[in-house]
Amino acid sequence: MSEQMNVDVAIIGAGTAGLYALREVRRAKKSFVLIDTGPLGTTCARVGCMPSKVALHIGDSWHAQKNFPRYGISGAEHLQLDTQQAWAELRRQRDKFAGGAAEGAERAAGEQLIMGRVRFLTPTLLEVEQAHGKQQIQAKAVIIATGSRPVMPGFLQPFAEHCLTTDEFFEMQELPKSIGILGLGAIGLEMGLALSRLGVEVHGADMATSVGGISDPEVSKYALAEFAKEIKLYLGAPAELAQAEQGVLLKAGDQQVRVDKVLVALGRRANTDQLNLAEVGFELDERGQPLFNPQTMQLGEHPVFIVGDSNGQRALMHEAADEGAMAGFNAVQAKPLAFKRKTPIAIAFTHPDVISVGARFDQLNPDDILIGTAKTQSNGRSQVLSKHEGVLRVYADKASGELLGASMLGMRAEHVAQFLVLAIQRQETVHSLLQIPFYHPVVEETIQSALQDIARHIPDPAGLPFGLVLADA
Protein backbone atom coordinates (compact mmCIF):
# COMPACT_ATOMS: atom_id res chain seq x y z
CA MET A 1 0.00 0.00 0.00
CA SER A 2 1.42 3.39 -1.00
CA GLU A 3 1.39 6.43 1.26
CA GLN A 4 -1.94 8.06 2.10
CA MET A 5 -2.79 11.03 -0.11
CA ASN A 6 -4.52 14.14 1.31
CA VAL A 7 -6.72 16.36 -0.86
CA ASP A 8 -9.42 18.99 -0.47
CA VAL A 9 -11.94 17.16 -2.68
CA ALA A 10 -12.11 13.60 -4.00
CA ILE A 11 -14.49 13.15 -6.93
CA ILE A 12 -15.53 9.57 -7.64
CA GLY A 13 -16.61 9.18 -11.25
CA ALA A 14 -15.46 11.06 -14.36
CA GLY A 15 -18.84 11.17 -16.10
CA THR A 16 -20.86 14.31 -16.80
CA ALA A 17 -21.66 14.96 -13.12
CA GLY A 18 -18.08 14.35 -11.96
CA LEU A 19 -16.60 16.59 -14.65
CA TYR A 20 -18.95 19.47 -13.84
CA ALA A 21 -18.02 19.07 -10.17
CA LEU A 22 -14.34 19.14 -11.11
CA ARG A 23 -14.81 22.39 -12.99
CA GLU A 24 -16.05 24.10 -9.79
CA VAL A 25 -13.32 22.61 -7.61
CA ARG A 26 -10.66 23.77 -10.06
CA ARG A 27 -12.27 27.22 -10.23
CA ALA A 28 -11.90 27.44 -6.44
CA LYS A 29 -8.22 26.40 -6.85
CA LYS A 30 -8.56 23.51 -4.38
CA SER A 31 -6.56 20.28 -4.49
CA PHE A 32 -8.44 17.27 -5.83
CA VAL A 33 -8.38 13.75 -7.22
CA LEU A 34 -10.73 12.43 -9.90
CA ILE A 35 -11.14 8.66 -9.62
CA ASP A 36 -12.74 6.42 -12.23
CA THR A 37 -12.89 2.68 -12.87
CA GLY A 38 -12.98 3.35 -16.63
CA PRO A 39 -13.83 3.36 -19.40
CA LEU A 40 -13.70 7.14 -19.57
CA GLY A 41 -15.92 9.02 -22.02
CA THR A 42 -19.19 9.45 -20.04
CA THR A 43 -22.33 7.33 -20.30
CA CYS A 44 -24.02 10.08 -22.33
CA ALA A 45 -21.38 10.02 -25.08
CA ARG A 46 -20.39 6.33 -24.95
CA VAL A 47 -23.66 4.40 -24.58
CA GLY A 48 -26.40 6.96 -23.94
CA CYS A 49 -27.72 10.23 -25.37
CA MET A 50 -25.40 10.47 -28.36
CA PRO A 51 -25.18 6.99 -29.96
CA SER A 52 -28.93 6.57 -29.44
CA LYS A 53 -29.59 9.78 -31.38
CA VAL A 54 -27.24 8.66 -34.17
CA ALA A 55 -29.19 5.36 -34.38
CA LEU A 56 -32.48 7.28 -34.62
CA HIS A 57 -31.07 9.61 -37.26
CA ILE A 58 -29.81 6.75 -39.44
CA GLY A 59 -33.16 4.96 -39.03
CA ASP A 60 -35.11 8.10 -39.98
CA SER A 61 -32.89 8.74 -43.02
CA TRP A 62 -33.55 5.25 -44.39
CA HIS A 63 -37.22 5.33 -43.47
CA ALA A 64 -37.76 8.64 -45.31
CA GLN A 65 -38.02 6.69 -48.57
CA LYS A 66 -41.48 5.48 -47.48
CA ASN A 67 -42.76 8.90 -48.52
CA PHE A 68 -40.95 9.02 -51.87
CA PRO A 69 -43.79 7.64 -54.03
CA ARG A 70 -46.16 10.24 -52.57
CA TYR A 71 -43.82 13.00 -53.75
CA GLY A 72 -43.33 11.42 -57.18
CA ILE A 73 -39.81 10.22 -56.39
CA SER A 74 -39.25 6.80 -57.97
CA GLY A 75 -36.46 4.25 -57.98
CA ALA A 76 -36.35 3.79 -54.20
CA GLU A 77 -36.65 0.02 -54.71
CA HIS A 78 -33.01 0.09 -55.93
CA LEU A 79 -31.72 1.59 -52.69
CA GLN A 80 -29.67 -0.73 -50.46
CA LEU A 81 -29.09 -0.54 -46.73
CA ASP A 82 -25.87 -2.05 -45.38
CA THR A 83 -26.77 -2.30 -41.69
CA GLN A 84 -23.23 -3.34 -40.74
CA GLN A 85 -21.92 -0.15 -42.24
CA ALA A 86 -24.72 1.88 -40.64
CA TRP A 87 -23.80 0.56 -37.17
CA ALA A 88 -20.08 1.04 -37.92
CA GLU A 89 -20.81 4.70 -38.75
CA LEU A 90 -22.75 4.97 -35.49
CA ARG A 91 -19.71 3.65 -33.60
CA ARG A 92 -17.42 6.05 -35.48
CA GLN A 93 -19.53 9.02 -34.39
CA ARG A 94 -19.85 7.56 -30.88
CA ASP A 95 -16.06 7.19 -30.62
CA LYS A 96 -15.66 10.83 -31.60
CA PHE A 97 -18.07 12.01 -28.89
CA ALA A 98 -16.70 9.66 -26.23
CA GLY A 99 -13.07 10.25 -27.23
CA GLY A 100 -13.62 13.99 -26.85
CA ALA A 101 -15.17 13.52 -23.40
CA ALA A 102 -12.36 11.18 -22.28
CA GLU A 103 -9.68 13.61 -23.47
CA GLY A 104 -11.52 16.43 -21.68
CA ALA A 105 -11.38 14.45 -18.42
CA GLU A 106 -7.68 13.65 -18.84
CA ARG A 107 -6.87 17.24 -19.67
CA ALA A 108 -8.91 18.68 -16.77
CA ALA A 109 -7.61 16.29 -14.12
CA GLY A 110 -4.05 15.75 -15.39
CA GLU A 111 -2.00 13.71 -12.93
CA GLN A 112 -4.85 13.92 -10.43
CA LEU A 113 -6.79 11.36 -12.49
CA ILE A 114 -6.61 7.96 -10.79
CA MET A 115 -7.93 4.88 -12.54
CA GLY A 116 -9.35 2.48 -9.97
CA ARG A 117 -12.36 1.29 -7.97
CA VAL A 118 -13.34 3.15 -4.80
CA ARG A 119 -14.60 1.98 -1.43
CA PHE A 120 -15.31 4.19 1.59
CA LEU A 121 -13.35 3.34 4.76
CA THR A 122 -14.85 6.31 6.65
CA PRO A 123 -17.06 9.12 5.26
CA THR A 124 -13.93 10.97 4.11
CA LEU A 125 -11.31 8.22 3.81
CA LEU A 126 -11.34 6.30 0.53
CA GLU A 127 -9.54 3.19 -0.59
CA VAL A 128 -8.82 3.00 -4.31
CA GLU A 129 -8.05 -0.39 -5.78
CA GLN A 130 -5.74 0.12 -8.73
CA ALA A 131 -4.05 -2.30 -11.12
CA HIS A 132 -0.80 -2.09 -9.09
CA GLY A 133 -2.22 -2.05 -5.56
CA LYS A 134 -4.32 -0.07 -3.13
CA GLN A 135 -4.13 3.61 -2.29
CA GLN A 136 -5.82 5.52 0.55
CA ILE A 137 -7.09 9.03 0.02
CA GLN A 138 -8.12 11.33 2.85
CA ALA A 139 -10.34 14.12 1.56
CA LYS A 140 -11.92 17.13 3.26
CA ALA A 141 -14.96 16.55 1.02
CA VAL A 142 -16.07 13.72 -1.26
CA ILE A 143 -18.35 13.84 -4.31
CA ILE A 144 -20.00 10.58 -5.39
CA ALA A 145 -20.67 10.71 -9.15
CA THR A 146 -20.56 7.03 -10.04
CA GLY A 147 -23.49 6.96 -12.47
CA SER A 148 -25.73 3.96 -13.08
CA ARG A 149 -25.83 0.68 -14.99
CA PRO A 150 -28.62 -1.16 -16.85
CA VAL A 151 -30.82 -3.45 -14.77
CA MET A 152 -30.68 -7.13 -15.78
CA PRO A 153 -33.17 -9.04 -13.58
CA GLY A 154 -32.33 -12.57 -12.47
CA PHE A 155 -35.20 -14.16 -14.43
CA LEU A 156 -33.38 -13.23 -17.65
CA GLN A 157 -30.15 -15.03 -16.72
CA PRO A 158 -31.05 -18.33 -18.49
CA PHE A 159 -31.48 -16.30 -21.70
CA ALA A 160 -28.36 -14.17 -21.27
CA GLU A 161 -26.91 -15.14 -24.67
CA HIS A 162 -29.94 -13.62 -26.39
CA CYS A 163 -30.24 -10.54 -24.18
CA LEU A 164 -28.57 -7.18 -24.71
CA THR A 165 -28.50 -4.03 -22.62
CA THR A 166 -27.88 -0.55 -23.99
CA ASP A 167 -24.24 -1.01 -22.93
CA GLU A 168 -23.90 -3.79 -25.56
CA PHE A 169 -26.48 -2.61 -28.07
CA PHE A 170 -24.17 -0.29 -30.03
CA GLU A 171 -21.50 -3.01 -30.23
CA MET A 172 -23.70 -5.30 -32.35
CA GLN A 173 -21.78 -6.33 -35.46
CA GLU A 174 -24.97 -7.26 -37.28
CA LEU A 175 -28.56 -6.23 -36.67
CA PRO A 176 -30.93 -9.10 -35.78
CA LYS A 177 -33.89 -9.88 -38.04
CA SER A 178 -36.25 -9.57 -35.09
CA ILE A 179 -35.94 -8.18 -31.57
CA GLY A 180 -38.03 -7.98 -28.43
CA ILE A 181 -37.76 -4.84 -26.32
CA LEU A 182 -38.42 -5.30 -22.61
CA GLY A 183 -39.39 -1.90 -21.23
CA LEU A 184 -40.83 0.89 -23.38
CA GLY A 185 -39.69 3.95 -21.45
CA ALA A 186 -37.90 6.65 -23.43
CA ILE A 187 -34.80 4.50 -24.03
CA GLY A 188 -36.62 1.29 -25.07
CA LEU A 189 -38.99 3.23 -27.30
CA GLU A 190 -36.21 5.20 -29.01
CA MET A 191 -34.15 2.10 -29.71
CA GLY A 192 -37.15 0.05 -30.82
CA LEU A 193 -38.16 2.71 -33.34
CA ALA A 194 -34.60 3.14 -34.64
CA LEU A 195 -34.38 -0.60 -35.30
CA SER A 196 -37.84 -0.80 -36.82
CA ARG A 197 -36.93 1.99 -39.25
CA LEU A 198 -33.81 0.03 -40.19
CA GLY A 199 -35.98 -2.94 -41.17
CA VAL A 200 -35.82 -5.03 -37.98
CA GLU A 201 -39.09 -6.64 -36.84
CA VAL A 202 -39.66 -5.14 -33.38
CA HIS A 203 -41.89 -6.44 -30.57
CA GLY A 204 -42.08 -4.21 -27.49
CA ALA A 205 -43.44 -5.16 -24.07
CA ASP A 206 -44.14 -3.13 -20.96
CA MET A 207 -46.16 -3.65 -17.76
CA ALA A 208 -47.47 -0.09 -18.15
CA THR A 209 -50.33 0.65 -20.51
CA SER A 210 -48.51 3.67 -21.93
CA VAL A 211 -45.12 4.14 -23.60
CA GLY A 212 -42.28 6.66 -23.26
CA GLY A 213 -43.32 7.44 -19.68
CA ILE A 214 -46.29 9.52 -20.92
CA SER A 215 -48.75 10.33 -18.13
CA ASP A 216 -51.28 12.41 -20.10
CA PRO A 217 -54.00 9.99 -21.31
CA GLU A 218 -54.79 12.02 -24.44
CA VAL A 219 -51.15 12.24 -25.55
CA SER A 220 -50.76 8.56 -24.69
CA LYS A 221 -53.70 7.66 -26.97
CA TYR A 222 -52.04 9.39 -29.93
CA ALA A 223 -48.63 7.91 -29.12
CA LEU A 224 -49.95 4.35 -28.94
CA ALA A 225 -51.77 4.73 -32.25
CA GLU A 226 -48.66 6.16 -33.89
CA PHE A 227 -45.98 3.83 -32.53
CA ALA A 228 -48.09 0.68 -32.96
CA LYS A 229 -47.59 1.24 -36.71
CA GLU A 230 -43.88 0.48 -36.25
CA ILE A 231 -43.60 -1.70 -33.14
CA LYS A 232 -45.91 -4.55 -32.22
CA LEU A 233 -46.91 -3.52 -28.69
CA TYR A 234 -47.59 -5.87 -25.74
CA LEU A 235 -48.73 -3.63 -22.89
CA GLY A 236 -50.20 -3.96 -19.43
CA ALA A 237 -48.91 -7.45 -18.62
CA PRO A 238 -45.61 -8.74 -17.22
CA ALA A 239 -43.39 -10.14 -19.97
CA GLU A 240 -41.31 -13.28 -19.68
CA LEU A 241 -38.96 -15.25 -21.89
CA ALA A 242 -39.01 -18.94 -22.75
CA GLN A 243 -36.69 -21.24 -24.68
CA ALA A 244 -37.17 -21.53 -28.44
CA GLU A 245 -35.37 -23.65 -30.99
CA GLN A 246 -33.76 -20.51 -32.34
CA GLY A 247 -33.73 -17.24 -30.43
CA VAL A 248 -36.24 -16.91 -27.59
CA LEU A 249 -39.98 -16.70 -27.05
CA LEU A 250 -41.25 -13.39 -25.73
CA LYS A 251 -44.48 -13.93 -23.79
CA ALA A 252 -46.81 -11.22 -22.50
CA GLY A 253 -50.38 -11.89 -21.34
CA ASP A 254 -51.83 -14.50 -23.71
CA GLN A 255 -49.54 -13.53 -26.60
CA GLN A 256 -46.16 -14.87 -27.59
CA VAL A 257 -43.68 -14.35 -30.38
CA ARG A 258 -40.26 -15.72 -31.31
CA VAL A 259 -37.45 -13.17 -31.58
CA ASP A 260 -33.72 -13.41 -32.32
CA LYS A 261 -32.60 -11.01 -29.62
CA VAL A 262 -34.03 -9.10 -26.67
CA LEU A 263 -33.05 -5.57 -25.66
CA VAL A 264 -33.48 -5.23 -21.91
CA ALA A 265 -34.49 -1.62 -21.21
CA LEU A 266 -35.99 -2.11 -17.75
CA GLY A 267 -34.30 0.87 -16.16
CA ARG A 268 -30.94 1.54 -14.56
CA ARG A 269 -29.62 1.10 -11.04
CA ALA A 270 -27.29 3.50 -9.29
CA ASN A 271 -23.64 2.44 -8.91
CA THR A 272 -23.64 2.96 -5.15
CA ASP A 273 -24.04 -0.64 -4.01
CA GLN A 274 -20.30 -1.43 -3.93
CA LEU A 275 -19.10 1.74 -2.24
CA ASN A 276 -19.53 0.46 1.35
CA LEU A 277 -21.90 3.34 2.17
CA ALA A 278 -24.03 1.68 4.87
CA GLU A 279 -20.96 0.27 6.63
CA VAL A 280 -19.41 3.72 7.14
CA GLY A 281 -22.64 5.18 8.54
CA PHE A 282 -24.46 6.92 5.68
CA GLU A 283 -28.23 6.74 6.08
CA LEU A 284 -29.90 4.78 3.26
CA ASP A 285 -33.52 4.60 2.08
CA GLU A 286 -35.50 1.39 1.49
CA ARG A 287 -33.89 1.00 -1.98
CA GLY A 288 -30.43 1.19 -0.43
CA GLN A 289 -29.88 4.69 -1.81
CA PRO A 290 -28.21 7.29 0.42
CA LEU A 291 -30.52 10.03 1.72
CA PHE A 292 -29.45 13.45 0.48
CA ASN A 293 -30.68 17.02 0.13
CA PRO A 294 -31.61 17.63 -3.56
CA GLN A 295 -30.85 21.36 -3.23
CA THR A 296 -27.34 21.01 -1.76
CA MET A 297 -26.68 17.41 -2.88
CA GLN A 298 -25.27 16.76 0.63
CA LEU A 299 -25.60 13.46 2.55
CA GLY A 300 -26.86 14.41 6.02
CA GLU A 301 -24.29 16.60 7.74
CA HIS A 302 -21.31 14.81 6.16
CA PRO A 303 -18.97 16.72 3.83
CA VAL A 304 -20.09 14.25 1.19
CA PHE A 305 -22.27 14.90 -1.88
CA ILE A 306 -24.01 12.62 -4.39
CA VAL A 307 -24.81 13.70 -7.95
CA GLY A 308 -26.06 12.54 -11.34
CA ASP A 309 -27.47 9.06 -11.96
CA SER A 310 -25.78 7.77 -8.79
CA ASN A 311 -28.41 9.45 -6.59
CA GLY A 312 -31.21 7.70 -8.50
CA GLN A 313 -33.44 10.75 -8.98
CA ARG A 314 -33.22 12.80 -12.21
CA ALA A 315 -31.35 10.54 -14.61
CA LEU A 316 -30.75 13.06 -17.39
CA MET A 317 -27.58 14.61 -18.70
CA HIS A 318 -28.40 18.26 -17.96
CA GLU A 319 -29.48 17.37 -14.41
CA ALA A 320 -26.19 15.48 -13.87
CA ALA A 321 -24.32 18.59 -15.05
CA ASP A 322 -26.25 20.92 -12.70
CA GLU A 323 -25.93 18.58 -9.74
CA GLY A 324 -22.20 18.17 -10.37
CA ALA A 325 -21.75 21.94 -10.43
CA MET A 326 -23.78 22.35 -7.19
CA ALA A 327 -21.74 19.71 -5.40
CA GLY A 328 -18.39 20.96 -6.73
CA PHE A 329 -19.30 24.44 -5.51
CA ASN A 330 -20.61 23.26 -2.14
CA ALA A 331 -17.71 20.91 -1.47
CA VAL A 332 -15.41 23.89 -1.00
CA GLN A 333 -17.78 26.14 1.02
CA ALA A 334 -17.78 26.47 4.80
CA LYS A 335 -21.54 25.81 4.65
CA PRO A 336 -23.27 24.30 1.60
CA LEU A 337 -25.77 26.57 -0.19
CA ALA A 338 -29.23 25.39 -1.29
CA PHE A 339 -29.88 25.81 -5.03
CA LYS A 340 -33.23 26.17 -6.77
CA ARG A 341 -33.85 23.26 -9.13
CA LYS A 342 -34.74 24.00 -12.73
CA THR A 343 -38.05 23.21 -14.42
CA PRO A 344 -38.23 19.53 -15.44
CA ILE A 345 -37.97 18.76 -19.15
CA ALA A 346 -37.82 15.39 -20.90
CA ILE A 347 -37.70 14.58 -24.61
CA ALA A 348 -37.84 11.23 -26.41
CA PHE A 349 -36.53 11.78 -29.94
CA THR A 350 -38.97 9.35 -31.43
CA HIS A 351 -40.00 11.36 -34.50
CA PRO A 352 -42.78 12.26 -33.78
CA ASP A 353 -41.17 13.23 -30.48
CA VAL A 354 -42.65 12.71 -27.03
CA ILE A 355 -42.11 15.59 -24.63
CA SER A 356 -42.98 16.49 -21.07
CA VAL A 357 -42.26 19.90 -19.54
CA GLY A 358 -42.94 21.22 -16.04
CA ALA A 359 -45.60 19.44 -14.00
CA ARG A 360 -46.80 16.11 -15.37
CA PHE A 361 -50.51 15.49 -15.87
CA ASP A 362 -50.57 12.94 -13.02
CA GLN A 363 -49.03 15.47 -10.60
CA LEU A 364 -51.85 18.00 -11.07
CA ASN A 365 -55.34 18.20 -9.60
CA PRO A 366 -57.78 18.27 -12.54
CA ASP A 367 -60.04 20.67 -10.59
CA ASP A 368 -57.27 23.28 -10.35
CA ILE A 369 -56.19 23.44 -13.98
CA LEU A 370 -57.33 24.39 -17.45
CA ILE A 371 -56.04 22.29 -20.32
CA GLY A 372 -55.40 23.73 -23.77
CA THR A 373 -55.34 21.24 -26.62
CA ALA A 374 -53.88 21.67 -30.11
CA LYS A 375 -53.82 18.89 -32.69
CA THR A 376 -50.77 18.78 -34.92
CA GLN A 377 -53.00 18.12 -37.91
CA SER A 378 -54.28 21.68 -37.53
CA ASN A 379 -50.73 23.04 -37.66
CA GLY A 380 -49.52 23.87 -41.16
CA ARG A 381 -45.83 23.13 -40.58
CA SER A 382 -46.55 19.76 -38.95
CA GLN A 383 -48.75 18.79 -41.89
CA VAL A 384 -45.98 19.64 -44.36
CA LEU A 385 -43.49 17.59 -42.33
CA SER A 386 -45.53 14.42 -42.02
CA LYS A 387 -48.87 12.68 -41.97
CA HIS A 388 -48.44 11.74 -38.28
CA GLU A 389 -51.26 12.72 -35.99
CA GLY A 390 -50.20 14.25 -32.71
CA VAL A 391 -51.41 16.52 -29.96
CA LEU A 392 -50.11 19.17 -27.58
CA ARG A 393 -51.73 19.59 -24.17
CA VAL A 394 -50.80 22.60 -22.06
CA TYR A 395 -51.79 22.83 -18.39
CA ALA A 396 -52.42 26.22 -16.75
CA ASP A 397 -53.50 27.25 -13.28
CA LYS A 398 -57.25 27.92 -13.38
CA ALA A 399 -57.09 30.95 -11.09
CA SER A 400 -53.98 32.78 -12.35
CA GLY A 401 -53.49 31.41 -15.86
CA GLU A 402 -49.86 30.58 -15.01
CA LEU A 403 -48.39 27.83 -17.17
CA LEU A 404 -47.68 24.71 -15.13
CA GLY A 405 -46.77 22.00 -17.60
CA ALA A 406 -47.24 20.45 -21.02
CA SER A 407 -47.06 17.15 -22.84
CA MET A 408 -46.95 16.49 -26.57
CA LEU A 409 -46.58 13.97 -29.33
CA GLY A 410 -45.48 15.77 -32.47
CA MET A 411 -42.88 16.29 -35.16
CA ARG A 412 -39.98 18.46 -33.94
CA ALA A 413 -41.61 18.67 -30.52
CA GLU A 414 -38.07 18.98 -29.11
CA HIS A 415 -38.29 22.68 -30.04
CA VAL A 416 -41.73 23.04 -28.47
CA ALA A 417 -40.31 21.56 -25.25
CA GLN A 418 -37.34 23.91 -25.17
CA PHE A 419 -39.66 26.89 -25.83
CA LEU A 420 -42.16 25.89 -23.14
CA VAL A 421 -39.54 25.20 -20.49
CA LEU A 422 -38.40 28.81 -20.82
CA ALA A 423 -41.99 30.05 -20.50
CA ILE A 424 -42.79 27.86 -17.50
CA GLN A 425 -39.58 28.61 -15.65
CA ARG A 426 -40.16 32.34 -16.21
CA GLN A 427 -43.69 31.94 -14.81
CA GLU A 428 -45.42 33.16 -17.94
CA THR A 429 -49.20 33.09 -18.01
CA VAL A 430 -51.42 32.09 -20.90
CA HIS A 431 -52.06 35.77 -21.73
CA SER A 432 -48.46 36.98 -21.31
CA LEU A 433 -47.15 34.23 -23.59
CA LEU A 434 -49.74 35.00 -26.24
CA GLN A 435 -48.24 38.49 -26.44
CA ILE A 436 -45.16 37.23 -28.29
CA PRO A 437 -45.35 36.78 -32.08
CA PHE A 438 -45.57 33.25 -33.52
CA TYR A 439 -44.13 33.08 -37.02
CA HIS A 440 -46.09 31.22 -39.66
CA PRO A 441 -45.67 28.39 -40.46
CA VAL A 442 -43.70 26.98 -37.51
CA VAL A 443 -44.41 23.95 -35.31
CA GLU A 444 -44.45 26.34 -32.32
CA GLU A 445 -47.80 27.68 -33.58
CA THR A 446 -49.30 24.63 -31.86
CA ILE A 447 -48.38 26.37 -28.59
CA GLN A 448 -50.30 29.45 -29.68
CA SER A 449 -53.34 27.31 -30.54
CA ALA A 450 -53.24 25.50 -27.19
CA LEU A 451 -52.87 28.79 -25.31
CA GLN A 452 -55.84 30.29 -27.19
CA ASP A 453 -57.85 27.22 -26.26
CA ILE A 454 -57.20 28.03 -22.58
CA ALA A 455 -57.56 31.80 -23.01
CA ARG A 456 -61.16 31.31 -24.07
CA HIS A 457 -61.84 30.25 -20.47
CA ILE A 458 -59.86 33.13 -18.90
CA PRO A 459 -61.08 36.17 -20.84
CA ASP A 460 -58.82 39.21 -20.96
CA PRO A 461 -60.22 41.66 -18.35
CA ALA A 462 -60.03 44.54 -20.88
CA GLY A 463 -61.85 42.45 -23.49
CA LEU A 464 -59.02 42.90 -26.02
CA PRO A 465 -58.23 40.32 -28.71
CA PHE A 466 -55.91 37.46 -27.55
CA GLY A 467 -52.26 38.52 -27.41
CA LEU A 468 -52.76 42.23 -28.10
CA VAL A 469 -51.94 45.00 -25.65
CA LEU A 470 -52.70 48.69 -25.99
CA ALA A 471 -49.90 50.99 -27.15
CA ASP A 472 -50.01 53.05 -23.96
CA ALA A 473 -50.20 50.04 -21.57
Ligand X SMILES: Cc1cc2nc3c(=O)[nH]c(=O)nc-3n(C[C@H](O)[C@H](O)[C@H](O)COP(=O)(O)OP(=O)(O)OC[C@H]3O[C@@H](n4cnc5c(N)ncnc54)[C@H](O)[C@@H]3O)c2cc1C
Judged by the rule CB under 6 A, the positions of this chain that interact with ligand X are 12-18, 35-38, 42-44, 47-49, 52, 117-118, 145-147, 166, 187, 271, 274-275, 308-310, 315-318, 320
Q: Nearest distance from residue 318's CB to ligand X, in Å? A: 6
Between CA 141 and CA 302 the distance in angstroms is 8
CA nearest neighbour of 226 among 215, 212, 236, 208: 212
Q: Which is nearer to ligand X, 48 or 303 (CB)?
A: 48
Q: Which residues lie below 8 Å from residue 96, measured CB to CB, with a gap of 6+?
A: none
H or E stretch including 86?
helix 83-109
Q: Which is nearer to ligand X, 151 or 422 (CB)?
A: 151
CB 440 within 8 A of CB 447: no
> What single letter denotes the amino acid at residue 42?
T
Q: Which is nearer to ligand X, 418 or 452 (CB)?
A: 418
Q: Nearest distance from residue 404's CB to ligand X, in Å? A: 22
Q: Nearest distance from residue 97's CB to ligand X, in Å? A: 11
Q: What share of the chain is helix, strand, coil (3-state, %, to 5)?
A: 35, 25, 40
Query: In 21-31, which positions are buried (b, 16+ CB within 10 angstroms) versus exposed (e)?
Result: bbebbeeeebe
Between CA 328 and CA 325 the distance in angstroms is 5
Q: Which is nearer to ligand X, 19 or 239 (CB)?
A: 19
Q: Nearest distance from residue 471's CB to ligand X, in Å? A: 43
Q: Which is nearer to ligand X, 15 or 303 (CB)?
A: 15
At 154, phi and psi to the nearest 5? Answer: -55, -35
Q: Nearest distance from residue 256's CB to ligand X, in Å? A: 27
Between CA 433 and CA 437 the distance in angstroms is 9
Q: Which is nearer to ligand X, 178 or 350 (CB)?
A: 350
Between CA 264 and CA 253 the distance in angstroms is 18
CA nearest neighbour of 271 among 297, 285, 289: 289
Residue 38 DSSP label: S
Q: Which is nearer to ligand X, 44 or 304 (CB)?
A: 44
Q: Nearest distance from residue 190's CB to ligand X, in Å? A: 7
Q: Nearest distance from residue 137's CB to ligand X, in Å? A: 12
Q: Which is nearer to ligand X, 166 or 429 (CB)?
A: 166
Range list of H helices, 242-365: 317-330
CA nearest neighbour of 143 among 336, 328, 334: 328
Q: Which is nearer to ligand X, 187 or 248 (CB)?
A: 187
Phi-psi region of 386 (alpha: psi -120 to 50; beta: other; left: phi over 0): beta
Between CA 175 and CA 83 the distance in angstroms is 7
Q: Nearest distance from residue 150's CB to ligand X, in Å? A: 7
Strand partners, 33: 10
Q: Nearest distance from residue 105's CB to ligand X, in Å? A: 8
- Residue in the shown chain whose Cβ atom is closest to ligand X: 15
Strand partners, 141: 9
Q: Which is nearer to ligand X, 187 or 262 (CB)?
A: 187
Q: Nearest distance from residue 459's CB to ligand X, in Å? A: 39
